[in-house]
A and B are shown apart, each in its own frame.
Chain A
Amino acid sequence: LAKTTQPISMDSYEGQEVNITCSHNNIATNDYITWYQQFPSQGPRFIIQGYKTKVTNEVASLFIPADRKSSTLSLPRVSLSDTAVYYCLVGYSTLTFGKGTMLLVSP
């Protein structure tokens, strides 16, 4: 199973863009890269998924370089409600969660 490495925590202020980078050096050919968000006492919530290049949806963008050994989740103009743990995962059928990145957004 591919493992991921991401920062333990990040701090930001409201209105700023936040980029969280994840490394996954041994990603397999058929693995997708997926990011989840989790608030305390809730199940994780899907944010975005990609295979290569760039993916954008209404809440985030995901940048994946050609070698796919890393990925960057970009959250535009964060708000206080974006304070949560963000998980980067690689895989196809089963998911292995790491400890995630605790993002704290301050006023």
Chain B
Amino acid sequence: DTGVSQNPRHKITKRGQNVTFRCDPISEHNRLYWYRQTLGQGPEFLTYFQNEAQLEKSRLLSDRFSAERPKGSFSTLEIQRTEQGDSAMYLCASSLILTGGSYEQYFGPGTRLTVT
């Protein structure tokens, strides 16, 4: 257990429905990241926050994807109008960025999404 939690762990939804995933990072970490991972591939970076500011969102897969981190603590990733191609593992990670220092990201267990 890295200290990063994700809920739900599994989600089955029908095509066209909206889904929302939650990530609770390690409490003192100021950065939070979202990734998507499909079978046989490495995690694919989607977006990240520093505190409540979303610093990079150009890698979100489409305008159906959005993420928030309203108070700089937990974050949510929403997928609207889900498609079968959205079926994947969605991973959240957090890190503490120190000025001039190195960093490491701690990953949660992921949310597995299945779109039927």
Contacts and interface: CB of A to CB of B under 8 A. Distances in A.
A45 B2 CA distance: 8
A94 B56 contact: yes
A63 interface: no
Interface of B: 2, 4, 31, 33, 35, 40-45, 48, 56, 89, 91, 93, 97, 102-110, 112
B42 A49 contact: no
A42 B110 contact: yes
A35 B3 CA distance: 19
The prevalent SS among residues of A at the interface is loop
A28 interface: no
Contacts, number: 54
B111 to A, nearest CB: 10
6 contacts: A41-B89, A42-B110, A43-B93, A46-B104, A95-B105, A96-B45
A44 B43 contact: yes
Nearest to A89: B42
B108 A97 contact: no
**When A and B form their complex, which 8 residue pairs have the shortest distance between CB atoms, in order from nearest?**
A97-B42, A43-B107, A46-B104, A97-B43, A44-B107, A43-B91, A43-B110, A32-B102
B108 to A, nearest CB: 6
B42 A98 contact: yes
B105 A100 contact: no
Nearest to B4: A43
B107 A45 contact: yes
A43 B2 contact: yes
A45 B43 CA distance: 12
B97 A93 contact: yes
Nearest to A46: B104
Contacts of A94: 33, 45, 48, 56
A49 B109 contact: no
Nearest to A34: B104
A43 B109 contact: yes
Nearest to B45: A94
Contact of B40 (A32, A42, A44, A99): A99
Nearest to B55: A93
